[in-house]
Amino acid sequence: MPGAAEDLTALTTLRLPAKAAARRDVTDLPALREALADARAAGLPVIVLGEGSNVVFAGDVDALVLRYTATGREVIAEDDASVTLRVAAGEHWHTLVCWCLEQGYHGLENLALIPGTVGAAPIQNIGAYGVELAPFVEAVHAVRIADGETLTLSRAECAFAYRDSIFKGALRDAVVITAVDFRLPRAHVPVTDYPSLREALAGQAAPPEPRDVFDAVVALRRARLPDPATTPNAGSFFKNPVVDAATAEALARRYPGMPQFAAPGGRKLAAGWLIEQCGWRGAEGEGVAVHPGHALVLVSRGGDGRALLALAQRIQDSVAETFGCRLEIEPRVYGAAA
Ligand code: NAP
């Protein structure tokens, strides 16, 4: 393990300044097992990063920061109805979406332009414009950090839920995802009922093809969301809260314009709307801000993780005070004082 502190600033899309005791990029399974063994020998916990698009470093970490950067895609099964792909965890998510579209493998179009790697995608069960990853996942392959053993989890074992999976629960920080198997249909009816997507496609004469959905999603995201390459951010900073039916009804009576959606366990509220109503859109902290174009996205303007979490807490407090529900932070947070 290198002795010197390793700078992490360039490893996350928020570009928050932080250091780690050690860091390593590995491109294959033997190198991964060796790095894990070295971390065990040095007594260091392991933090796994992909492209760092859903991670907040609130301070320095006494850990090995590890990236598994293996790339590659192969067809492992196919028939007239579908194709099953095995994709290495280090592949760039959007590149996979583009490639699938070109090959005629459908279903992932709505998930275009979500930042991050293939290995990161199952962790939060990425979702956008009415589609989530879970139904396309056949299996997730991983290596256990504690002993280097290989694991394969079926879709059911991944315990996918709204922006959630076993990798955020029982297996949080316990495995390195090395590959994902996807089963994609050849004939697919595009999912176009998400309001902004339906609107974007409304002018078309013919029923939308997967390529049309892809183009519309790319245009919508480019118009609304800041590009992490130029504006450091981690996408949605808060999860959409789910409240029980009675609470939802009371809120709807009090705030007639409040968006609410059906969700398991009650009604889903739009976190961005709640934040905006509390007047936070465009607000600034110390080198951090609420994106002026989208209140759900916090951006860094040279500030650090402590300032970002302080701003997040002020937003959480204000939403809780106004609407009685506490927003949960979506990205993984490391290095925060207990
Ligand atoms: P929007 O259309 O302004 O809607 C705001 C919120 O309302 C969304 O978060 C969405 O929940 C929910 N919503 C709207 N219509 C819905 C419907 N018919 N059924 C269920 N839920 C509905 O959203 P936006 O902020 O521009 O984002 C568009 C899409 O991109 C959303 O799906 C969003 O999740 C996704 N996105 C993801 C990230 C990320 O970092 N993970 C960042 C930005 C945007 P859902 O979030 O559950 O869809």
β-pair type (137-144, 73-78): unpaired
Q: Which of 23, 67, 73, 163 is catalytic?
A: 163
Any ligand 1 atom below 6 A from CB of 236: yes
Which residue's alpha carbon is at the smallest distance from atom 19 of ligand 1? 261
Any ligand 1 atom below 6 A from CB of 272: yes
Task: Please spell the DSSP secondary structure of 105-167, one letter per residue.
Answer: --S-GGGTT--SBTTTTTTTT-EETTEESGGGEEEEEEEETTT--EEEEETGGGT-BTTB-GG
CA distance 134 to 272: 24
User: How remote is the CA of residue 34 from the centroid of ligand 1, in Å?
Assistant: 40
The structure tokens listed for 80 are: 């007239």
Which residue's alpha carbon is at the smallest distance from atom 48 of ligand 1? 128
DSSP state of 9: G
Q: Which of 53, 165, 236, 300 is catalytic?
A: 236
CB 306 within 8 A of CB 234: no
What is the predicted pLDDT for the residue at 4?
53
The structure tokens listed for 24 are: 């390593």
User: How remote is the CA of residue 38 from the centroid of ligand 1, in Å?
Assistant: 41
Q: What is the number of the ligand 1 atom nearest to the C-alpha of 273?
A: 5
3-state DSSP call for residue 36? helix
DSSP state of 16: -
What is the predicted pLDDT for the residue at 189?
85
User: How remote is the CA of residue 32 from the centroid of ligand 1, in Å?
Assistant: 36
The structure tokens listed for 300 are: 């860094």
For the chain, what is the radius of gyration of the CA atoms?
A: 20
Other beta carbons within 10 Å of 132:
18
User: How remote is the CA of residue 113 from the centroid of ligand 1, in Å?
Assistant: 14
Other beta carbons within 10 Å of 185:
13
Q: Which domains does the chain have, with CATH numbers?
A: 6-68 (3.30.43.10), 73-185 (3.30.465.10), 233-334 (3.90.78.10)
3-state DSSP call for residue 267? strand
What is the predicted pLDDT for the residue at 276?
97
Which residue's alpha carbon is at the smallest distance from atom 31 of ligand 1? 128
CA distance 90 to 50: 7
Q: How many CA atoms lie within 13 A of 38 on its CB side?
A: 18
Tens digit of pLDDT per residue, the chain (338 long)? 544 599 999 999 999 999 999 999 999 999 999 999 999 999 999 999 999 999 999 999 999 999 999 999 999 999 999 999 999 999 999 999 999 999 999 999 999 999 999 999 999 999 999 999 999 999 999 999 999 999 999 999 999 998 899 999 999 999 999 999 999 998 888 999 999 999 999 988 788 999 999 999 999 999 999 999 999 999 999 999 999 999 999 999 999 999 999 998 899 999 999 999 999 999 998 999 999 999 999 999 999 999 999 999 999 999 999 999 999 999 999 998 64
CA distance 122 to 89: 10
What is the predicted pLDDT for the residue at 270?
97
CB 131 within 8 A of CB 111: yes
β-pair type (137-144, 175-185): antiparallel
CA distance 133 to 121: 8
Measured CA to CA in angstroms, residue 268 lies from 52, 202, 221, 240, 244 at distances of 27, 26, 21, 6, 9
CA distance 185 to 172: 30
Please give the backbone phi and psi of residue 290, each rounded to the nearest 5 degrees, phi first: -90, 125
In terms of Cβ atoms closer than 10 Å to its own Cβ (0-12, 13-18, 19+), residue 202 is exposed
User: How remote is the CA of residue 128 from the centroid of ligand 1, in Å?
Assistant: 6
CA distance 291 to 301: 11
Which residue's alpha carbon is at the smallest distance from atom 22 of ligand 1? 261
Which residues are CB-contacts of 93 (< 8 A; sequence separation ≥ 6)?
Answer: 111, 114, 115, 116, 117, 118, 120, 121, 126
Catalytic, 330? Answer: yes
What is the predicted pLDDT for the residue at 337?
66
Catalytic, 236? Answer: yes
The structure tokens listed for 62 are: 């006494």
CB 56 within 8 A of CB 14: yes
Which residue's alpha carbon is at the smallest distance from atom 46 of ligand 1? 128
Any ligand 1 atom below 6 A from CB of 259: yes
User: How remote is the CA of residue 142 from the centroid of ligand 1, in Å?
Assistant: 29
Amino acid occupying residue 90: G
Any ligand 1 atom below 6 A from CB of 258: no
Indicate the length of the chain as a whole number: 338
